[in-house]
Amino acid sequence: MAGILDLIGGQTPPSAPAEMFVVGNPEGLLEPGNINILARPQVKLPDGSVATVHSMSFQDKDGNEVLVPMISPDGKMMTQKQAVEFYYKTGQHLGKFKSPEVATGYAEQLHNQQAEYYGVK
């Protein structure tokens, strides 16, 4: 998402927590995520499905594709802008990747893992 750093003031995230979580071993993963993906809030979407991460990615100032959840830790849906702002405020992410394609592939893998783990479709 070009220009997102301009929207949020070009901030950089604080240090990431030591505990990191990742699904599988995706090629192109530059940095594992630091969010416990097995303890996510469940949010009912308008179509009746349930989401726990509902992710999006954007390119940071270092050229990394950062995958972030659009569901806050307290279970509220965030806009893309809010999700990016939350990342820069907290440093929380689902992984950093070398390209949008790798991030999207991982997001699909994560979605499938979450659906199986939480027993939702």
Per DSSP, the residues of 89-102 read HH---SEEESSHHH
Terminal CA-to-CA distance of the chain, rounded, Å? 28
pLDDT at 15: 41
Q: Residue 22: what pLDDT?
A: 60
pLDDT tens track for 45-79: 788 878 887 899 999 999 999 999 999 999 999 99
pTM of the full structure = 0.77
Strand ranges inside the chain, DSSP E: 29-32, 43-44, 50-51, 55-59, 65-69, 95-97
**Cα separation of 121 and 119, whole Å?**
7
21 and 36 Cβ atoms separated by less than 8 Å: yes
What is the rounded distance in angstroms from the CA atom of residue 41 to the CA atom of residue 79?
17
Per-residue confidence at 113, pLDDT binned at 50, 70, 90? confident
Higher pLDDT, 15 or 62: 62
